[in-house]
Amino acid sequence: MNFPLPPNATIGLVGGGQLGRMSALAAARLGYRCHILTREVDSPAAQVSHCVTISDYSDPASLRAFAAAVDVISFEFENISAEGLELLASLKPVRPAPDVLRVSQDRVLEKTFLNGAGAATAPWAPVGSLADLHDAVRRLGLPAVLKTTRLGYDGKGQAMLRTMDDLPSAFDRLQPKPLILEGFVNFSQEISVVVARGADGGMSAFDTVANRHHDHILDVTLAPAPVPEAVSEAAQSIARTITQALNVVGLLAIEMFVDETGRVLVNEVAPRPHNSGHWTIDACPASQFELHIRAIAGLPLPPAVRHSDAVMKNLVGPEGAALWPAAVATPGLIPHLYGKAEARPGRKMGHVTRLFPKGALPGPFGIAAALGPLGQDQGDSG
């Protein structure tokens, strides 16, 4: 099928989570159908989609059948194997291309790419052995963060190294995976930018936002980020440069640190919709999910403008799920629930967004009040 995809075309999405769910809702509004490939029965994405294939991501017969049933393929789940994605790409257009995922799946390839594209990162070194780790610590100093190169998310597969005594136990715990040591960034803020890029190279980048984490999981996003204009602009420029250099067709989310001197360092990139872009559903005429679908379907990309400032708060685990009655009862909060039956600890169950007129985003100490009954744990986030 040629691009742009006509109405009623079918978009294949690998992964059945909330990112797929919100992408499928945006696709439906544009007149497309979504077909989800997931291991999970009753997944958040399949609940709102036209069709689902329930299978392992590495089963060639299922991948072939899935590809045969769709017109273009994208993903919200990044841990599909390179071979699986290559197989899909041999059958139907995969957007972003498998090469982009290959880079973002491996922290060493990713950092090499980022530095090669001119983006600053924390200092880093690959670690294959305990001797390598000692060597790397001698060069980078302590504190430092030891991470698995692959399959890490939300702080999983990471160990903080504070003293030399931490090295053997951290190395043993994260073994036998390949590892990377990163110098610890004493950041003043964590920020991110979501960029959409079309096949023609045109880009639309959402405003720079600030992210606050709780137990390594995103808790709150502030849009726009309360940072100096120069920092926000630097983040935008880095994000566009990387998206272009990776030749992304679709979305790229770029997570960055602002260090204590105001320098912007890239932490990692994700070639998919991103949790720090959920505010765009309510605060922008076209959300990150709409831009994702537009980019992969070959539709024109509108500018990624916002009509409002926004605070987004995640509802995580059983505690987050318990906030649902308050989320739907509090005027001004826009609730989103992901349809997950079981609220396991650390699981993202939903989010709420609160909008403000542009320029009226409360300062750090107003966030708790802005979230009403959901802001009670925001006391230390100023």
Give the interface with ligand AMP as residue ranges (CB under 6 A). 122, 145, 152-153, 155, 182, 184-185, 190, 213, 216, 255, 267-268
Type and span of the H or E element at 368: helix 367-370
Rank residues 53 and 158 by Cβ distance to ligand AMP and give the closer one. 158
We find the least distance from the C-beta atom of residue 355 to ligand AMP, in angstroms, to be 25
Rank residues 270 and 293 by Cβ distance to ligand AMP and give the closer one. 270
We find the least distance from the C-beta atom of residue 267 to ligand AMP, in angstroms, to be 5
Rank residues 153 and 365 by Cβ distance to ligand AMP and give the closer one. 153
Rank residues 73 and 238 by Cβ distance to ligand AMP and give the closer one. 238
Cα dist from 325 to 120, 320, 374, 377, whole Å: 43, 10, 10, 17
- CA 8 to CA 51: how far, in whole Å? 13
We find the least distance from the C-beta atom of residue 219 to ligand AMP, in angstroms, to be 11
Residues in CB range of 112: below 8 A, 6 or more apart: none
Rank residues 43 and 149 by Cβ distance to ligand AMP and give the closer one. 149
Pairing of strands 348-357, 308-316: antiparallel
Structure tokens at 139: 């060069």
We find the least distance from the C-beta atom of residue 123 to ligand AMP, in angstroms, to be 9
Rank residues 71 and 190 by Cβ distance to ligand AMP and give the closer one. 190
- CA 18 to CA 381: how far, in whole Å? 25
Indicate the SS3 state at residue 257: strand
Phi, psi values for residue 238, rounded to 5°: -60, -45
We find the least distance from the C-beta atom of residue 186 to ligand AMP, in angstroms, to be 7
Rank residues 26 and 218 by Cβ distance to ligand AMP and give the closer one. 218
We find the least distance from the C-beta atom of residue 157 to ligand AMP, in angstroms, to be 8
Rank residues 213 and 263 by Cβ distance to ligand AMP and give the closer one. 213
- CA 204 to CA 304: how far, in whole Å? 5
Number of Cα atoms under 13 Å in the Cβ half of residue 315? 28
The number of beta carbons lying within 10 Å of the beta carbon of residue 98 is 18
Rank residues 190 and 282 by Cβ distance to ligand AMP and give the closer one. 190
- CA 382 to CA 372: how far, in whole Å? 16
The sign one gets for the Cα dihedral 165, 169, 172, 178 is negative
We find the least distance from the C-beta atom of residue 365 to ligand AMP, in angstroms, to be 21
- CA 241 to CA 179: how far, in whole Å? 27
We find the least distance from the C-beta atom of residue 107 to ligand AMP, in angstroms, to be 8
Look up tokens 């990713």; give the residue. 110
We find the least distance from the C-beta atom of residue 52 to ligand AMP, in angstroms, to be 29
Q: Extract long-range pairs of 2-9: CB within 8 Å, 24+ residues apart.
A: 3/72, 3/199, 3/297, 3/298, 4/297, 4/298, 4/299, 5/32, 5/71, 5/72, 5/297, 5/298, 5/299, 7/31, 7/32, 8/32, 8/33, 9/33, 9/71, 9/72, 9/297
